[in-house]
Amino acid sequence: MPADRETALAIVRTAKSERPLLRHCAVHPSLEIRAEHVLAPLAHNRELAHAAVSAVLSTDAYQLVQVEAPEVQPDELRGAVRWKLKDIINFPPSEAIVDVFDIPEQARYVESRMIYAVAARADAVRRVVSLVKPRVRGFDCVDIPEMCLRNVAALLPQDEQGVALIALSDTFAQLTLTCRGVLYLARRIDLARRAMGSPSEAAEVDVPSLALELQRSLDYYESHFDRAAITEVVVASGDDRAERLLGDLGTATGHSVTLLEVPDLFDIADGIEPDTRWPGLLALGAALRSERGRA
């Protein structure tokens, strides 16, 4: 559930032996405006009363950066990383909630071990918690978009050999490179808006610029991690921009470019028409978080 200009709720039932069952996926106005309405499918359903629930931060509420891993004990890692962030993030580290996760092993010639650090604005995290926790018993996690998209990419059959997932928001493309469920690289790429376009409309895609940034990322993945090249690209937008992008991006890069098709990855409950615009896609990914069973 991204707490942004729009928010979304997805409900997914997972089982190891079956495809995930999508029971709900809808986009709503801001959670602050209609929290009771957005969360009603969870709050008013006894079966879902204790389901594990994740919220997702809006993209302006945190920064995801790579930093050199400090040589400290594991329980001291977050504190040590906080000091490294003072010249990297655009707000004071004292106002941040910091978490870290590993970057896969890099090529032999890379001397320093790098890790990902998430620096979230503490006031934004508190705002999300205050909106969700009183209304949902199973709320247990605040996530970030990159990890939600990793969860979606892990369902793609192309992920077995490595896949580039490009998710289009209104203003940027979020690129994630994954292989066998592991996030190797995440980049946010600005989209070029038409000069005469309305500010409320989704930005059109500058295909040459996107193709260039995509190829740079794929080359980095191949060389930096000493991995086989990724040749499969999947695009998602929830509108017709993704479909319009297929041919042009494939021609510009020489890669196979396909659409994200939710029915290929999920069983969908009767009467459900999933909204996979940016907030809905993130909600899907949040509902796939594997640490606990999801409702």
User: How many angstroms separate the CA atoms of 257 and 232, rounded?
Assistant: 6
Lowest mean pLDDT among 41-55, 201-215, 226-240: 41-55
Give the contacts of 17 (CB within 8 A, at least 6 positions apart). none
User: How many angstroms separate the CA atoms of 40 and 210, rounded?
Assistant: 39
- CB under 8 Å, gap of 24 or more: what pairs does 50-53 form? 50/137, 50/138, 51/11, 51/138, 51/294, 51/295, 52/138, 52/140, 52/141, 52/289, 52/292, 52/293, 52/294, 52/295, 53/132, 53/136, 53/138, 53/139, 53/140, 53/141, 53/295
User: How many angstroms separate the CA atoms of 235 and 238, rounded?
Assistant: 10
Strands 114-121 and 62-68: antiparallel
Section 65-76 average pLDDT: 92
| Percent over 70 (pLDDT), the chain | 89
Lowest mean pLDDT among 22-26, 36-40, 61-65: 36-40
- Tell me if domain 59-125 and domain 157-259 are identical in fold: yes
Query: What CATH class is the domain 157-259?
Result: alpha beta
Has residue 224 got a pLDDT over 50? Answer: yes
DSSP annotation of 89 reads S
Give the pLDDT band (50/70/90) at residue 291. very low
| Structure token pair of residue 63 | 């920064």
User: How many angstroms separate the CA atoms of 193 and 201, rounded?
Assistant: 9
Q: Which of 42, 44, 32 is nearest to 2 (CA)?
A: 32
What number does CATH give the domain 59-125?
3.30.420.380
User: How many angstroms separate the CA atoms of 197 and 191, rounded?
Assistant: 13
Q: Where are the chain's structural domains?
A: 59-125, 157-259
Q: How many CA atoms lie within 13 A of 176 on its CB side?
A: 27
